[in-house]
Amino acid sequence: MSRTHINCTINGDETDFLSESGGSLLNALRDDVGLMGVKEGCGTGDCGACSVLMDDRITCACLIFAPEVEGRTIVTIEGLANADELHPLQQCFLEGAALQCGICTPGFLLAAKALLDKNPDPTETEVRYALAGNLCRCTGYDKIIRAVLDAAEGIRASATSGDAA
Amino acid sequence: MTMIDENPTGAPSYKWVGSRSIRPDGLDKVTGKARFGADLTLPGMLEGAVARSPHAHARIVSIDTSAAEAMPGVHAVITAADLPDLAEAGAKTDDVFMSEKILARGKVLWEGHPVAAVAATSREIARAAVAAIEVVYEPLPHVLTVDEALADGAPLLHAEMITRGVDPAPKTPSNAASRVVHERGDLDQGFADADVVLEREYTTKPVHQGYIEPHACVADAGQDSRANLFVSSQGHFSLRAMTATTLGWPPSALTVTAAEIGGGFGGKTTIYLEPLAVRLSSKAGRPVRLVMGRDEVFKATGPTSGSRMKIKMGVTNDGKMTAAQVWMAFEAGAFPGSPVGAASMTAIACYDIPNFLVEGFDVVCNKPKVAAYRAPGAPIIAYGVESIVDELARSINMDPIDLRLANAAVEGTQSSYGPVFPRIGFVETLEAIRDSDHYRSPVPEGMGRGVASGFWFNIGGNSTATVHVNEDGNVNVIEGSPDIGGSRASMALFAAEEFGISVDRISVKIADTQTIGFNDVTGGSRVTLATGKVVIDCCRAIKEDLCRRAAKTWDCEIGDVEWVEGQAQHASGTETPLSLAELAETAPRTGGPISVTKSDNVRGAGAAFTTQLVDLEVDEETGVCRVARYTTAQDAGKAIHPSYVEGQMQGGVAQGIGWAFNEEYIHNADGTLDNASFLDYRIPVASDLPMIETIVVEVPNPGHPYGVRGVGEAGIVPPMAAIGNAIEHGTGVRLNDLPMSPVRLLDAINQRNDG
Ligand code: FES
Ligand code: FES
């Protein structure tokens, strides 16, 4: 089977890998790059478990052919924390019990990051619509929405205190 | 030494139990490190795929695997011929059925029934090989619903199946696998005593558990008829037993490691892929990973039953329920085993009704074999019973909560399924809703309000745990119950409370089947109760041991030593207390390592009740409903980790809301499933739901050291009826069939308008 050589940036590192022709970014990330935090819930773009940031946009990795990421920047859940410091969303998910089984969590965290990067002060409804592409069967979404709103508040607060300093 | 009361009846105050600590497995799950079923890769590992029946019912004339076997990269192909024929071996009928579910033998019984499996060097090759397997089928007529399956002359799935539970036994086989009955009192008299008697029929469709993680496992069999299995499962011990039975191996030949599990809700208490993966691995001599696609999850793993129910209930004008007659038939799918037994037991368990007859039938049909789904059976029958209770309340002009209060089961009531209830909290959940801000607020303009209640037994069962004190005084808890919703957090809190040390000093691990003693599946809301109980037993035995060691150090009687807040103290106060860390450090001199294992078949499960309230906005132009406000009150006994208790309540409600409005298996006339994707089988998304308000009621379970009941299941029982009741309240239209989809509701509204 023919394989394509692909260069891109993943979680800040320049990376190259060989992908099966016709292979999805999801399979490439899991099988070729070894980033198992990217999950497959459906493979058809309906669940959001495979969400990654591609050039800062939330994207279902299962719907992208691996060669499409040539030259692009990808962030997966493995790249969300800043070295030894969790992202505020990760911290709020932990503190707010916003996960039960946790299979949907990587996708939700990245979708929420994409939202907050664009809109640091979303309403509950905005959060609900921004996360509507991610399925969670365990939580009923309540604690996820609260955790995202809490994280947004925390990020805003530290931004203003940072400005003042 | 002193200990917390065995059976607290008041409300003891705890330092750790009841706090909202960070769960032990949380960090791995927010950083992507947690390993779920599909996340293990082994050197030389092959990828598997399963060949499945395209027919709902057919005879297998022949299977030719030669072309698949000849493909480069294919290392093993298996069919039923590669597994022992359990029927021939005279195995139990249930085991024969289980093995035929794993791989079809002679006949396929539903679309998606596995007929063969392949292991190859890549998924693509494995799939191509599956396509190259030639199966010749002779299609047979199929039955899809209980009505079709029970009709005269219906085609039979199992030629020799005689209905159990009927006296005298029927002479001829049928698709009715069994009948269960619960009865008491004098039904005719009961209905004669009533002022109002209503009779209704309800239907429901199969719905899927909808866990986001598809079934997945990795098997690594040696050349010695032993294997390691890494698998996403709710119970790696029972899975080991089932897999071994299907393979004809002793269970101990399998070492099963529980992966992190991406949701189960009952659906991962049984086997699908595991024997295939082990057999492929043993045939190929290489590790094999098998992962289902979402379509396979829908087509070949357990939904819960579709059903038909007939319910008749009578009530006096002053609100006394006098009689209930319930008939129900549940689809089991291809093999017997619907949750109709549990449905029959739960049907009217909320109420103290003097005269009743509850009759249930387990019926096979050409759909996937059902699997447990959260409070199996109870939500289905509650849809009917809680709807008719609401109609009864309306017909006698009584508040629906008052009618429930007037007939509620309480401590001392003999339950409809037999046992006398100990202390239970049904009344408290009703009162909590009645007194809630939500119920006291007027129904918003243009909305309907509905209330419904639910019951689930909860269970105890077999659990084992080990607790070690490390040389630094920190504690390891090792248990064998896969954690599907935060139970490790509860175990850590129990241990922290018992030892009087910070929860940060406790680590909790779930061990494989060779490392810890037996544990029943995570299901029936049993883990916090039963596994929690053995963890507590371990901690208490260790505290006794620690006091003994302190007594030895101080050269005093053990009776002079007590364990207080993380340290051993001498009653007289003459000795400097010894902390857990100090005792751990000197352990080699006081008797060696500090470690205890306890196991028990835990009794004393406490029943869970819940009452729920919903405000619904109905768009009469489109039939679309929006849940505007939802409140659920549930008796947790004691909430060990309140956040995860609330999470279980909210999750159950959300699943119930999906079941109420959208979710259903849509089979076409060919008997194949038309909506095997999350696009077409629509589960609730974030924008469909409001916040779900929770009221955690705590009526301690007298059977548990901390009063725990179990919270996983009851939450999904009332939502469908609560929503149906709200629809009627808002529109005057009553729907008796699930799902109450926009199309159905619009039809009913149009009929109302025309009528
Ligand atoms: S796996 Fe990509 S959306 Fe479900
Ligand atoms: S936490 Fe299980 S699917 Fe979201």
Nearest residue of chain A to residue B259 (CA atoms) = A101
Please indicate, yes or no, whether residues A52 and A22 belong to a single structural domain of this protein: yes
Cα B204 from chain centre: 19
The per-residue pLDDT for B75 is 98
Q: What is the residue with the minimal CA distance to atom 3 of ligand 1?
A: A45
Please indicate, yes or no, whether residues B646 and B688 belong to a single structural domain of this protein: yes
Instruction: Using the mean position of ligand 2's atoms as its centre, give its distance from the Cα of residue A135 in Å.
Output: 8
Residue A17 has phi, psi (to 5 degrees) of -155, 165
DSSP A32: I
Using CB atoms within 10 A of its CB, is residue B398 exposed (0-12), middle (13-18) or buried (19+)? Answer: middle
Please indicate, yes or no, whether residues A113 and A146 belong to a single structural domain of this protein: yes
Q: Which of B234, B204, B219, B230 is nearest to B278 (CA)?
A: B219
Of ligand 1's atoms, which has the minimum distance to the CA of residue B678? Answer: 4
A93/B265 touch (CB, cutoff 8 Å), yes or no: no
Q: Which of residues 379-408 of B touch A (CB under 8 A)?
A: none
Q: B430-467: string of b/e by CB count within 10 Å (b at 16+)?
A: bbbbbebebbeeebeeebbbbbbbbbbbbbbbbbbbbb
Positions in chain B whose pLDDT score sits under 50: 1-9
Please indicate, yes or no, whether residues B544 and B669 belong to a single structural domain of this protein: no
Decide: A139 in ligand 2 pocket, CB within 6 A.
Answer: yes
Pocket lined around ligand 1, Cβ cut-off 6 Å: A 40-43, 45-50, 60, 62
Decide: A138 in ligand 2 pocket, CB within 6 A.
Answer: yes
The per-residue pLDDT for B95 is 97
Decide: A118 in ligand 2 pocket, CB within 6 A.
Answer: no
Nearest residue of chain A to residue B35 (CA atoms) = A36
Please indicate, yes or no, whether residues A73 and A92 belong to a single structural domain of this protein: no
The per-residue pLDDT for B6 is 38
Mutate to test the interface with B, among A90, A103, A149 (most CBs of B within 10 A): A103
Please indicate, yes or no, whether residues B595 and B659 belong to a single structural domain of this protein: no
Which residues from A are below 8 Å from B212, CB to CB? Answer: 39, 41, 47, 49, 101, 103-104, 135-137
- ipTM for the assembly: 0.97
The per-residue pLDDT for A165 is 46
Structure tokens at B715: 């939450």
Of ligand 2's atoms, which has the minimum distance to the CA of residue B213? Answer: 3
Please indicate, yes or no, whether residues B516 and B592 belong to a single structural domain of this protein: yes
Is residue B290 assigned to a domain?
Answer: no
Cα B579 from chain centre: 41
Please indicate, yes or no, whether residues B616 and B716 belong to a single structural domain of this protein: yes
> Do A91 and B45 form a contact (C-beta atoms < 8 A)?
no
Is residue A41 assigned to a domain?
Answer: yes
Is residue A71 assigned to a domain?
Answer: yes
Tell me how crowded residue B721 is: count the other CB atoms within 10 A of its CB: 29
Higher pLDDT, A165 or B435: B435
Q: Does B26 touch chain A (CB under 8 A)?
A: yes
Please indicate, yes or no, whether residues A50 and A94 belong to a single structural domain of this protein: no
Q: Alpha helix locations (H) across B71-117?
A: 93-102
The per-residue pLDDT for B325 is 98
Domain count, chain B: 2
> Do A49 and A40 form a contact (C-beta atoms < 8 A)?
yes
B683/A137 touch (CB, cutoff 8 Å), yes or no: yes
Distance CA B610, CA B426 (A): 7
Is residue A165 assigned to a domain?
Answer: no
Please indicate, yes or no, whether residues B672 and B749 belong to a single structural domain of this protein: yes
Is residue B273 assigned to a domain?
Answer: no
Is residue B337 assigned to a domain?
Answer: no
Decide: A141 in ligand 2 pocket, CB within 6 A.
Answer: no
Q: Select from A1, A35, A104 the Cβ nearest to the Cβ of B212.
A: A104
The per-residue pLDDT for A163 is 58
Q: Does A63 touch chain B (CB under 8 A)?
A: no
3-state secondary structure B316-337: CCCCCEEEEEEEEEEEEECCCC
Please indicate, yes or no, whether residues A103 and A147 belong to a single structural domain of this protein: yes
Q: What is the residue with the minimal CA distance to atom 3 of ligand 2?
A: A136
Cα A24 from chain centre: 17
Distance CA B197, CA B188 (A): 12
Write the CATH number for A57.
3.10.20.30
Q: Select from A78, A133, A139 the Cβ nearest to the Cβ of B651.
A: A139
Write the CATH number for B482.
3.30.365.10
Average pLDDT (A25-47) is 97
Is residue B553 assigned to a domain?
Answer: yes
Probe ligand 2: pick from A40, A93, A94, A99, max atoms within 8 Å of CB?
A99
pLDDT band at A20 (very low <50, low <70, confident <90, very high): confident
Q: Does A1 touch chain B (CB under 8 A)?
A: yes
Please indicate, yes or no, whether residues A145 and A127 belong to a single structural domain of this protein: yes
Domain-terminating residue out of B569, B602, B635 = B602
Q: What is the residue with the minimal CA distance to atom 4 of ligand 2?
A: A136
The residues, ordered by sequence, that sit 6+ positions from B201 with a Cβ below 8 Å of its Cβ are B308, B309, B310, B311, B736
Q: Please, which residues bridge with residue B163 across strands?
A: none
Q: Which of B23, B25, B8 is nearest to B638 (CA)?
A: B8
Domain count, chain A: 2
Q: Does B515 touch chain A (CB under 8 A)?
A: no
Please indicate, yes or no, whether residues B714 and B751 belong to a single structural domain of this protein: yes
Q: How many contacts (CB atoms, under 8 Å) link A and B?
A: 185
Give the H or E element holding residue B453.
strand B447-456
The per-residue pLDDT for A162 is 67
Is residue B520 assigned to a domain?
Answer: yes
Please indicate, yes or no, whether residues B507 and B531 belong to a single structural domain of this protein: yes
Q: Which domain holds residue B439?
A: 418-456+606-755
The per-residue pLDDT for A91 is 98
Mutate to test the interface with B, among A38, A101, A141 (most CBs of B within 10 A): A101
Decide: A53 in ligand 2 pocket, CB within 6 A.
Answer: no
Give the H or E element holding residue B46.
strand B46-52
> Do B44 and B75 form a contact (C-beta atoms < 8 A)?
no
The Cα-based distances of B681 to B210, B281, B299, B386, B488 in angstroms read: 9, 34, 12, 26, 32
Please indicate, yes or no, whether residues A103 and A69 belong to a single structural domain of this protein: no
Average pLDDT (A83-112) is 97
Q: Which of residues 683-712 of B touch A (CB under 8 A)?
A: 683-687, 689, 691-692
Long-range residue pairs from B160-164, CB within 8 A, at least 24 positions apart, any chain: B161/B336, B161/B364, B163/B361
Please indicate, yes or no, whether residues A130 and A100 belong to a single structural domain of this protein: yes
Is residue B532 assigned to a domain?
Answer: yes
B485/A138 touch (CB, cutoff 8 Å), yes or no: yes
Domain-terminating residue out of A79, A104, A137 = A79
Which residues from B are below 8 Å from A138, CB to CB? Answer: 263, 485, 647, 651
Whether the upstream peptide bond of residue B739 has omega within 30° of 0, thus cis, is yes
Is beta strand B114-120 parallel, antiparallel or unpaired with respect to B74-79? antiparallel
Decide: A62 in ligand 2 pocket, CB within 6 A.
Answer: no
Q: Select from B41, B679, B692 the Cβ nearest to the Cβ of A142.
A: B692
A49/B263 touch (CB, cutoff 8 Å), yes or no: no
Is residue A24 assigned to a domain?
Answer: yes
Of ligand 1's atoms, which has the minimum distance to the CA of residue A46? Answer: 3
Decide: A131 in ligand 2 pocket, CB within 6 A.
Answer: no
A142/B294 touch (CB, cutoff 8 Å), yes or no: no
Shortest Cα–Cα distance, B489 to chain A (Å): 11
Q: Which of B543, B602, B755 is nearest to B2 (CA)?
A: B543
Nearest residue of chain B to residue A102 (CA atoms) = B29
Q: Which of A31, A41, A42, A47 is nearest to A111 (CA)?
A: A47
Q: Which of B297, B320, B291 is nearest to B406 (CA)?
A: B320
Q: Which of B533, B537, B519 is nearest to B483 (CA)?
A: B519
Is beta strand A51-54 parallel, antiparallel or unpaired with respect to A73-75? antiparallel
Probe ligand 2: pick from A40, A46, A94, A105, max atoms within 8 Å of CB?
A105
Please indicate, yes or no, whether residues A102 and A74 belong to a single structural domain of this protein: no
A101/B261 touch (CB, cutoff 8 Å), yes or no: yes
Please indicate, yes or no, whether residues B571 and B672 belong to a single structural domain of this protein: no
Write the CATH number for A100.
1.10.150.120
Please indicate, yes or no, whether residues B504 and B589 belong to a single structural domain of this protein: yes
Please indicate, yes or no, whether residues B614 and B725 belong to a single structural domain of this protein: yes
The per-residue pLDDT for B747 is 96
The per-residue pLDDT for B13 is 85
Is residue B205 assigned to a domain?
Answer: no
Domain-terminating residue out of A58, A79, A100 = A79
Please indicate, yes or no, whether residues A69 and A94 belong to a single structural domain of this protein: no
Nearest residue of chain B to residue A49 (CA atoms) = B212
Instruction: Using the mean position of ligand 2's atoms as its centre, give its distance from the Cα of residue B420 in Å.
Output: 37
Is residue A112 assigned to a domain?
Answer: yes
Average pLDDT (A64-88) is 97
Decide: B173 in ligand 2 pocket, CB within 6 A.
Answer: no
Please indicate, yes or no, whether residues B674 and B568 belong to a single structural domain of this protein: no
Please indicate, yes or no, whether residues A49 and A114 belong to a single structural domain of this protein: no
Helix axes B378-395, B719-731, angle to 10 degrees: 30
B647/A100 touch (CB, cutoff 8 Å), yes or no: yes
Is residue B448 assigned to a domain?
Answer: yes
Please indicate, yes or no, whether residues A65 and A12 belong to a single structural domain of this protein: yes
A100/B651 touch (CB, cutoff 8 Å), yes or no: yes
Distance CA B643, CA B559 (A): 39
B30/A20 touch (CB, cutoff 8 Å), yes or no: no
Q: Which domain holds residue A136?
A: 88-160
The Cα-based distances of A24 to A29, A61, A110 in angstroms read: 9, 7, 19
Domain-terminating residue out of A79, A103, A129 = A79
Distance CA B457, CA B346 (A): 8
